[in-house]
Amino acid sequence: MSARTRRGAALLTGLLCLAVPAAPAHAATLWDGDAGGGTGVFGSVECDAPGSLVTAANQDGHGTIFRYTKPSGLIRCENRGISVNGSRYAFAPGTTYWLGWETQLSTVTGDFVTWQWKSYPNAEQNYPLIMTVKNGSARLFHVDTDATWHLIWSASVAAGQWKRYALGIRTSESAASGWVELYADGVRQTFADGTTRYAARTWDSANEPKWGVYDRDTPESAVVNRIDRLRVGTAYSDVD
């Protein structure tokens, strides 16, 4: 091969490298909590009789969903954690997770919990993040190591209304590197401090998500929480 030919081949190779971009890094859906898989998609269930966590057919276009029924007299009907490939999934610090779900409540009266980022064992934060409903308002709190609850977001919600949430969590024991993001019905939300990424300590020994209903203060209340499209991933696009 002549020097001129070699130069031409090298130029062609360079142009091809410029024309073909490197393959992008892809996020990953870690868990699909489709109700078709039954309650086995969860790490465990915390719902004593006569409460129930079951799959149920919905007639409003949602198909089969999870129905969490907390009757009067019980304080909770929740799942704890998720199961991936038949094993309880261990969330890790220093990681970005996105959790997505749709929820429909039978009532929005009272003050009860619908989602927790629960610490196990309870070290300095019982639940770094917790979502509640109080008299027609869905509310997201960050809870400090001194058990101070900070209301970081709220929005109206009605009984029988389907709402879609996608919550991003960067897990860290330091507020300097931990953060939270939230989408509601596909719209990125602004937090109480004016940001769309709330800096917070989001990891405490070990954490797992809990969906359902929890109401220690007024166990006489009866609540049904229907949940659909449960997902966990590493990017918003995984769970939207």
Does the CA dihedral 56-141-80-220 come out positive or negative?
negative
Distance between CA atoms of residues 231 and 69, nearest Å: 21
- Show pLDDT as tens, one digit a residue, over the chain (240 residues): 544 444 444 444 443 333 333 333 446 899 999 999 999 999 999 999 999 999 999 878 899 999 999 999 999 999 999 999 999 999 999 999 999 999 999 999 999 999 999 999 878 999 999 999 999 999 999 999 999 999 999 999 999 999 999 999 999 999 999 999 999 999 999 999 999 999 999 999 999 999 999 999 999 999 999 999 999 999 999 999
Domain 29-239: give its CATH code: 2.60.120.200
Cis peptide before 50 (omega within 30 of 0): yes
Q: What is the pLDDT of residue 83?
A: 98
Distance between CA atoms of residues 109 and 78, nearest Å: 19
Q: Which of 58, 96, 124 is nearest to 234 (CA)?
A: 96
The domains of the chain are located at 29-239
Q: What is the pTM of this model?
A: 0.88
For tokens 């596909």, the residue is: 186
> Do the beta carbons of residue 51 and residue 69 sit within 8 Å?
yes
> Do the beta carbons of residue 101 and residue 65 sit within 8 Å?
no
